[in-house]
């Protein structure tokens, strides 16, 4: 079996553009992957075009060897854009491999270690304003109640205001009041995850926010500080009572290893669209397992990313919970002919279709072409004009 073509389809999903990758073979089999990276859509598509000649003529089932060729092909490291492109290509190769042997991908990853997969969604589902907008306790509480009514028992919200190196009394009160309103609305049995989005510019600022929310038992606090500062992250983790998580912006096992070695978090969050694919995510999860660290993959992306996350979760022992962004736009299901993702309340059920189990309606996808994403991060400005982290 040989790869004869690699193509991409960009599908606008309002806050982001999904990048679907299709690999075709000389035996009629083809595979789908996803390489979505916000605000870098055209760069990722270009990277896939650049990488395509390396794969032409290769057997798509030689996944590890093909990925090594893609990663090591040039003098320069591939970075987030290149690794996102490679992740999408790797997903598509797994899809072909599964189809070629008539088995779902999770079987090829080692088989199931659970009977269903626990999930959580974003407050407001796909509404960016509900996730990143102003912190209004009553509005957010209403959104939380709506999610619980839909059967979800866990959700995530961005709760920290834009912050520089120190916090303000107003900011702390806002975080505490909002978290209290959410907990009061949903009760003690619904899990709330808090994404600080790397907004605090110092460990002390992050810890003050953590202290404000800890009485309300968050399941975990995500990205309390910008990625790369392992020492500060470890300081936050040691001082915190609630679990600390990070990893959505770390690329490959190499970038996760210092965090894992320092025991700087309780949960790692590789994004299967960016970290290098399923094989690389398995390596990250295995290293985390040795350090007694759980895995909760990041995934605010499209339907093929959801399928990849489902197969990974089924086969990963230290998987904790899976982020989902289902139905994030009205045409979420329109672009699909088939999906392996079946939700039953707060759970995803195990898929049984060969490969990833995804089939894309390419004509429907073409009706939602690329649109420029909103640069919401430009709103991250302090009163004096200082640009801070979004």
Give 166-184 pLDDT, tens digit per residue: 999 999 999 999 999 999 9
- Which pLDDT tens digits describe the chain residue by residue (390 residues)? 999 999 999 999 988 999 999 999 999 999 999 999 999 999 999 999 999 999 999 999 999 999 999 999 988 899 999 999 999 999 999 999 999 999 999 999 999 999 999 999 988 776 656 555 557 888 888 989 999 999 999 999 998 899 999 999 999 999 999 999 999 999 999 999 999 999 999 999 999 999 999 999 999 999 999 999 999 999 999 999 999 999 999 999 999 999 999 999 999 999 999 999 999 999 999 999 999 999 999 999 999 999 999 999 999 999 999 999 888 899 999 999 999 999 999 999 999 999 999 999 999 999 999 999 988 888 899 999 999 998
Q: What CATH number did the domain enclosing 62 receive?
A: 3.30.390.10
Tell me: do 175 and 309 sit in the same domain.
yes
- Report the CATH number at residue 235: 3.20.20.120
Domain that holds residue 96: 3-103
Same domain, 89 and 150: no
Residues 94 and 137 in one domain: no
Instruction: Give the span between the Cα atoms of 344 and 164, in whole angstroms.
Output: 41
Query: Does the residue 379 lie in any domain?
Result: no
Residue 252: left if φ>0, alpha if ψ -120 to 50, beta else—which one? left
CA nearest neighbour of 44 among 2, 76, 88: 88
| Distance in angstroms (rounded) separating the CA atoms of residues 359 and 364 | 12
Q: Which residues contact 142 (CB under 8 A, 6 or more apart)?
A: none
Contact 340, 307 (CB under 8 A): yes
Instruction: Name the phi and psi angles at 344, rounded to 5.
Output: -125, 95
* 75 and 126 part of one domain: no
Residue 118, burial from CB neighbour count under 10 angstroms (0-12, 13-18, 19+):
middle
77 and 129 together in one domain: no
Total of domains in the chain: 2
The residues that are catalytic are 197, 298
User: Looking at the DSSP assignment, which residues form a beta bridge with residue 358?
Assistant: none
The pair of structure tokens assigned to 268 is: 């790692």
Residue 375 included in any domain: no
């Amino acid at each position: 079996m040989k790869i004869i073509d690699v193509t991409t389809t960009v599908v606008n999903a309002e806050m982001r553009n999904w990048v679907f990758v299709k690999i075709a073979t000389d035996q009629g089999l083809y595979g789908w992957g996803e390489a979505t990276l916000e605000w870098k859509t055209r760069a990722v598509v270009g990277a896939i075009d650049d990488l395509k000649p390396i794969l032409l003529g290769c057997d798509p089932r030689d996944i590890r060897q093909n990925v090594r060729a893609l990663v090591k092909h040039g003098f320069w490291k591939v970075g987030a854009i290149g690794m996102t492109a490679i992740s999408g290509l790797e997903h598509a190769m797994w899809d072909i491999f599964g189809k070629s042997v008539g088995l779902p991908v999770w079987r090829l990853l080692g088989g199931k270690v659970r009977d269903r997969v626990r999930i959580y969604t974003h407050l407001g589902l796909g509404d960016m304003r509900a996730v990143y907008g102003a912190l209004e306790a009553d509005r957010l509480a209403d959104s939380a109640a709506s999610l619980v009514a839909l059967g979800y028992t866990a959700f995530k919200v961005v709760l920290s205001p834009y912050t520089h190196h120190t916090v303000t009394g107003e900011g702390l009160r806002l975080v505490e009041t909002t978290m209290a309103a959410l907990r009061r609305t949903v009760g003690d049995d619904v899990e709330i995850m808090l994404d600080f989005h790397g907004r605090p510019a110092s460990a002390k600022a992050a810890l003050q926010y953590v202290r404000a929310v800890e009485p309300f038992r968050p399941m975990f606090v995500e990205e309390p500080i910008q990625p790369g500062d392992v020492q500060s992250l470890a300081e936050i983790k040691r001082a915190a009572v609630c679990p600390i998580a990070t990893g959505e912006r770390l690329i490959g096992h190499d970038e996760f290893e210092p965090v894992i070695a320092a025991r700087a978090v309780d949960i790692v969050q590789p994004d299967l669209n960016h970290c290098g694919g399923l094989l690389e995510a398995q390596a990250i999860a295995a290293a985390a397992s040795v350090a007694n660290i759980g895995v909760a993959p990041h995934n605010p992306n499209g339907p093929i990313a959801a399928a990849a996350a489902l197969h990974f979760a089924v086969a990963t022992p230290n998987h904790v919970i899976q982020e989902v962004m289902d139905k994030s736009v009205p045409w979420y299901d329109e672009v699909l002919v088939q999906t392996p993702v079946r939700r039953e309340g707060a759970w995803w059920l195990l898929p049984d279709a060969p490969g990833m189990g995804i089939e894309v309606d390419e004509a429907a996808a073409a009706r939602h072409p690329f649109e420029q994403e909103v640069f919401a991060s430009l709103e991250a400005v302090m009163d004096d004009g200082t640009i801070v982290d979004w």
